[in-house]
Amino acid sequence: MSLMRLRIRSACQSLRLRQLCTSTSKSDTTHHFLISTFNRDTFLQHLFSIPIIHQTLSLGSKPTSLLTPTLRLFHPKDLNISQYLNPFFLLHPNGYPHSSHTPILTYNPSTQQTLTLPLDPHSLTPDTDTTTLSVDTHFGFDPLTKTHKVLRLKWTVAIPEPYPRVTQMVCTVLTLGCSSNGSWRKVKINPELPFHSVKYMSVGKSVCINGVIHWLPQYGNSIVAFDLKDEEFRLIPRPHDYKAQNFILPLNRLIELGGCLALVADKYKYGNRDDDPILQLWILKDYHNHVWVKEEFYVPFYWGDWELFPIGTVPSGEIILKALNYTRGVMFYDMEGQDFKVVDITGLPEWVYSRCSGINTTVSVYEG
């Protein structure tokens, strides 16, 4: 296994993120990566598990094959795998029209059991008066009721399309593990919400923290939040110095950092690709008062080869990063030691490393 340790400097030496957001996970709990790979010959997605060795911040050498979903895909991004919400991942099609007729699965990596959820009838019913623009799917867990919920948002426009365009949004929820399991319910949308429904469309994956699903919308200066308890939407203002147009990658992501909502993005110090790239991290320290704390750290390698985006955290506090142009490994950023560690992923089937297949997505960390 190839390891490379790179020292970095912090722009905020006085800030210690572990003091802001300390993970409550037990140190003796075993954690794994769930790795998703796409076979370009069979058009199937394959899931593998590999253990994380916390003492050395490294990966095990023998990945375990977990699951090959029987969904015929045409692109690696056609299958979306949610954040891990103990004990499930949610496997669902990415975008319309796949999302209408392709099953949604829950997957327990510890037991390797899958459950096929019923299709949303609101997406299946033909409507000659409207056409569907997009469908988003989100997964959440409500710790108060101890139930998992699937949230779907569907956007439609009338036929013939009026001018100016009027977009309608339909919101449905499926509750798992209760008497209503198997029944999708329409959720009433408050017409007084201070933004247009089209701005709900997500960019990247959502993250559920403390019973609230969060995602970055395509437009606006806020984060959309859906409370699973009262099933209502609200907005969380982004950090005042967050300017989406200043960042290079479209993969800016929300992550959970020790129970806190965190926003990660990248930029160049002076807006020039010849400058040292900076990875910026905002932590929502005070959720109710919308108080963000920012940390910046410099990435000490050429940005053209290492375009990083976050994929999660490990219980000991390190941020897990993946590079667009380095598909066969992951990177850990140690917030306390302020350094990077690059770890290659080995032991996968030969076809993964052939024909430029690479590792499509390193999805999440899970216990088990």
List, for residues 222-259, the tens digit of each pLDDT value: 899 999 999 999 899 999 887 654 444 455 578 888 88
The pLDDT value recorded for residue 5 is: 35
Closest by CA to 288, choosing from 338, 324, 234, is 234
Portion of the chain with pLDDT greater than 70, in percent: 72
* pLDDT of 274 strictly over 60: no
Residue 349 pLDDT grade (very low, low, confident, very high; cuts 50, 70, 90): confident
Burial of 232 (0-12, 13-18, 19+ CB in 10 A): middle
Residues paired with 130 in a beta bridge: 158
Q: Helix %, strand %, coil % for the chain, to 5? A: 5, 50, 45
CATH of 3-367, one of 2.40.340.10, 3.30.420.140, 2.30.40.10, 2.120.10.80: 2.120.10.80
Residue 26 pLDDT grade (very low, low, confident, very high; cuts 50, 70, 90): very low
For the chain, the average pLDDT equals: 77
Instruction: Tell me how far the alpha carbon of residue 143 is from its chain's centroid.
Output: 20
Mean pLDDT of 256-272: 74
Which residue type occupies 41? D
Residue 85 pLDDT grade (very low, low, confident, very high; cuts 50, 70, 90): very high
Higher-scoring residue by pLDDT: 135, 306: 135
Q: What is the pTM of this model?
A: 0.85
Mean pLDDT of 171-176: 93
The pLDDT value recorded for residue 311 is: 78
Instruction: Tell me how far the alpha carbon of residue 301 is from its chain's centroid.
Output: 25
* pLDDT of 107 strictly over 90: yes
Contact 326, 308 (CB under 8 A): no
Question: How far apart (Å, rounded) are the C-alpha atoms in residues 284 and 214?
Answer: 12
- Sheet of 202-209, strand order: 202-209, 212-217, 222-227, 232-237
Mean pLDDT of 112-119: 89
Which residue type occupies 288? H
Question: How far apart (Å, rounded) are the C-alpha atoms in residues 274 and 304?
Answer: 10
Residue with token string 């308890």: 229
Question: How far apart (Å, rounded) are the C-alpha atoms in residues 180 and 184?
Answer: 8
Mean pLDDT of 343-363: 73
Higher-scoring residue by pLDDT: 365, 238: 238
End-to-end distance of the chain based on CA atoms, in angstroms? 23
Closest by CA to 252, choosing from 286, 300, 217, 224, is 217
**101: helix, strand or coil:** helix
